[in-house]
């Protein structure tokens, strides 16, 4: 069984400040991990993915995430927030075999607000 916990349903930062969105996972098999962003009334856009090739993953729009097996974490960061980063962010996990490939399990989401 797999699960994802996103700590903090709302995060608020000032423009130019560090963005840190937390994600912890639980998986009985080696996980594949993803971060998606959702803008209002739109679908989800893939920011980045962890596939075991490298623990520090760089994604689009200046975001990156680090996989820490010992902490079962995959936190998303960005050094300097922009107003355009305001959106809802979802962490997701999928399994590494069988039909679990196709099944993404999402966290509850974190709404990021950026203040001028």
Partner 1 sequence: NAGVMQNPRHLVRRRGQEARLRCSPMKGHSHVYWYRQLPEEGLKFMVYLQKENIIDESGMPKERFSAEFPKEGPSILRIQQVVRGDSAAYFCASSPGTGPNQPQHFGDGTRLSIL
Residues near partner 1 (CB under 8 A) are 32, 34, 36, 41-46, 49-51, 90, 94, 99, 101-109
Helix (H) or strand (E) holding 36: strand 32-38
Q: Shortest distance, CB of residue 42 to partner 1, whole angstroms?
A: 5
Q: Judging by beta carbons within 10 Å of its beta carbon (0-12, 13-18, 19+), is residue 25 exposed, middle or buried?
A: buried
Residue 73 contacts residue 102 (beta carbons within 8 Å): no
25 or 107: CB nearest partner 1: 107
1 or 116: CB nearest partner 1: 1
5 or 17: CB nearest partner 1: 5
């Amino acid at each position: 069984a797999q699960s994802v916990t996103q700590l903090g349903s709302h995060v608020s930062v000032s423009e130019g400040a560090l963005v840190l969105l937390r994600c912890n996972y639980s998986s009985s098999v080696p996980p594949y991990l993803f971060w998606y962003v959702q803008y209002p009334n739109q679908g989800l856009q893939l920011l980045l993915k962890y596939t075991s090739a490298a623990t520090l993953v760089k994604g689009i729009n200046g975001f990156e995430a680090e996989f820490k097996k010992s902490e079962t974490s995959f936190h998303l960061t960005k050094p300097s927030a922009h107003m355009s980063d305001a959106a809802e962010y979802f962490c997701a996990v999928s399994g590494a075999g069988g039909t679990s490939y196709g099944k993404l399990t999402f966290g509850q989401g974190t709404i990021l607000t950026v203040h001028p």
